[in-house]
Structure 1
């Protein structure tokens, strides 16, 4: 099996880190990074080695994404969306469902999958949709609606979407894929954000775009349900998201350590690494990160091992996401405080991480819904 330092060697990460600054300044997609990752088979990591992939499970994929994020967070975040779909196909296969095996085969062949499910104002996430899914003859569906935060917008060749079909006795949520060549969608040029700029997560408007019957892969009832697809999406999305933000915190800590060892106090003549207040903050950040690494590994490992956590699975996954994004945000803030005013200038890596890490606030599950999920698991639902 491929080792991470072979898949993502230090020299490659330095190239990515150098490019990240320019991508951010120009608000530009990471075309060069993506080409290098594709050439290394990175996009096919979840496919078996016999099928031309890397044979990774979720634990190893999360470690790879954590390592990639130490160099280029926006690249890693956008690639996450591709890996969510290929990871879903892998997790379903491991649980006896081969309905998305074509996703793995096409990823190995070079296709790029994107996640087109997010909708403005839809706090039900996967359990309802504002998008209309209208049935057509022969099992096809047309979709009309607006999807936000569609990462990989300049590069995807396959887009996973879902919408609600209200034509039957009970509404159904219809999941499908379209291709880049499919008519009936528009990608807006509206990604001009504070951070994660290279992800180019533009808005996608669906205007009667048609998914053929063979690419309609799930029809589910509205509301929470136990379908393995829902588990697989949450498992991959939350775990890989946590991996990216863990990588951001890891990199910020290293920058802070390097910086305080180089900066010297005019007053004492000593390196700032000798200042007791700075040492406390570095230690505080390191302690916080040390609690995150094993949690990320443990959750991903249990998903790979088909562990049965029952009703505690979703609390574990959303808890990991919240801890990773909040810990990374705290650590970056601490490192800004110990690194001095230079980090406030445009182009400074730590300043960019400060902007990138804020995106963690907005990813599902947000703080409110995560706490609701955990409270329901421990206390039961709120009484009417």
Structure 2
């Protein structure tokens, strides 16, 4: 099942260069995606959505990323939240069902998780979570990489409670855009993924009501289903975006090879053995990843149990897809030649966009630590 038709993707593709040039949010794309029902793509039909599986959604996200990587990456954050809620609901946990019903009603969800210098990611926080009478919390801190900053209406965040009787606890919650104490900084001026407008978000005593406190967990690795759901949906859907970037880079490499004429031979570059090898090698690298993504996403859909090997598989997929996308783009740039160095070049834009893959969790050190723990057991020294 698909939601994104070719005409919609063509319009989104045509706007991508302008958004990047002007460092501007993808407002028109978002309006069209909302009208198409894409924000509720993963919401079950009985809750008002389209009911796409995670496998189907991953393919849609790759198609969207081929058209506009920054648009796909930003929308990804909303879709990850709906995926988390669905993963929990499918396993008998309705604690985030409101995410699904509100997404179906048109609300836009964003992540406020990342913090400068916090390499613990989900296992620790520098944001203060202060308990309030009645069960709510007030959050104070600064979050970075808050994609969808100009448009989100619901913000998922977390912080550290250090004063309750059972402290320390990591508190996961949701707030609305009109909550007092939220300041969105105008600080997104990056070399790539510019249309995502992933500005920093300052929280000054921002209150989450008791009915929007969804977890209180001890710091550190945790077997809670929420943590699993976040890792699973984030890593799979981010991987889909970078697979889409790789697919588009490969298309552009083929087009460049077919149109460039060698002054030495008088034939197009697609007849050149070195060019053919580069394109074939990029295609082989790309082909290897879709089966891995579909296997993992299919197991999430089917409620499969991979036991303690889930996290190894999830972080490995993200690591391979983001690194592979950079390799494919590099090969495509080599095939296209100096034209890719122009600011007007789509391939040049992909070259900048693909660099963002290294900044998404899990980073290289975390990936290797996770895989080592899965194979060798935890390092107790």
Paired with 2:139 and 2:220, the residues of 1 have a C-alpha distance of 19
Quote the Cα distance in structure 1 between the aligned partners of 2:313 and 2:85. Answer: 21
Query: Counterparts in 2 of 1:113-262, with a 5 A limit?
Result: 113-168=109-164, 169-262=166-259
Q: 1:268 matched to which residue of 2?
A: 265
Which residue of 348, 353, 361 corresponds with 1:351?
A: 348
Q: CA deviation at 1:383?
A: 3.7
Which of the numbers 357, 368, 371 marks the counterpart of 1:371?
368
**CA deviation after TM superposition for structure 1 residue 283, in Å:** 0.4
Of 92, 113, 129, 1:96 maps to: 92
* Equivalent of 1:286 in 250, 272, 283: 283
Match among 26, 38, 54 for residue 34 of structure 2:
38
CA distance in 1, matches of 2:380, 2:108: 45
How far residue 54 of structure 1 moved from its aligned partner, in angstroms, is 0.7
Question: Given the alignment of the two structures, is residue 67 of structure 1 paired with residue 48 of structure 2, yes or no?
Answer: no
Q: Which string of whole-angstrom CA distances, capped at 9 and with x for unpartnered residues, describes residues 345-380 of structure 1?
A: 002100000000000011100111101100110011
Name the CA distance, whole Å, in 2 between partners of 1:90 and 1:382.
Answer: 34
1:290-330: per-residue Cα shift (whole Å, max 9, x none)? Answer: 00111111111011111111111000000000000000000
Task: For residue 210 of structure 1, give the secondary structure of its aligned residue in structure 2.
Answer: strand
Alpha-carbon separation, structure 2, partners of 1:227 and 1:57:
23
Please give the alpha-carbon distance, in whole angstroms, between the structure 2 residues aligned to 1:11 and 1:267. Answer: 40
**Cα distance in 2 for residues equivalent to 1:368 and 1:220:** 24
Spell out the pairing of 1:331-346 with structure 2 (5 A cutoff): 331-346=328-343
Q: Runs in 1 of length 4+ with deviation above 4 angstroms?
A: none
SS of the equivalent of 2:170 reads strand
Given the superposition, is the C-alpha separation of residues 92 and 182 from structure 1 closer, same or farther in structure 2, using an over 3 Å criterion? same
Compute the displacement of 1:14 (Å). Answer: 1.2
Give, in angstroms, the shift of residue 277 of structure 1. 0.4
Partner Cα distance (2:54, 2:46) in 1:
18
> Once the two structures are superposed, what CA deviation does each residue of 1:14-51 show, in whole Å capped at 9, x if it has no partner?
11111000000000000000000000110111211122
Of 3, 12, 16, 1:16 maps to 12
Could you report, residue by residue, the CA deviation over 1:39-90 in whole angstroms, capped at 9, with x for unpaired residues? 0110111211122201012111111101100000000000011011111100
SS for the counterpart of 1:55 is coil
Q: Which one is further off, 133-142 or 57-66? A: 57-66
Query: How many Å separate the matches in 2 of 1:34 and 1:354?
Result: 24
Which stretch shifts more, 247-256 or 373-382? 373-382
Distance 1:101 1:170 in 2: 27
Unaligned runs of at least 5 residues, structure 1: none
Structure 2 residues not aligned, in runs of 5+:
none
Shift of 1:12: 1.2
Matches within 5 A, 1:292-307: 292-307=289-304
CA positional deviation for 1:266: 1.2
TM-score (norm 1): 0.98
**Secondary structure in 1 matching 2:288:** helix
How many Å separate the matches in 2 of 1:82 and 1:275?
44
The 1-side partners of 2:54 and 2:231 are apart by: 12
Q: Secondary structure of 2:187's partner? A: coil
Please give the secondary structure, in 2, of the residue aligned with 1:110: coil
Q: Which residue of 1 aligns with 2:102?
A: 106
Question: How far did 1:170 drift?
Answer: 2.8
Distance between the aligned counterparts of 2:344 and 2:198, measured in 1?
Answer: 21
Instruction: Quote the Cα distance in structure 1 between the aligned partners of 2:268 and 2:43.
Output: 49
Matched, 1:317 2:322: no
Secondary structure, counterpart of 1:115 in structure 2: strand
Look up the SS of the partner of 1:154 in the other structure.
coil
Say whether residues 1:326 and 2:323 are aligned partners. yes
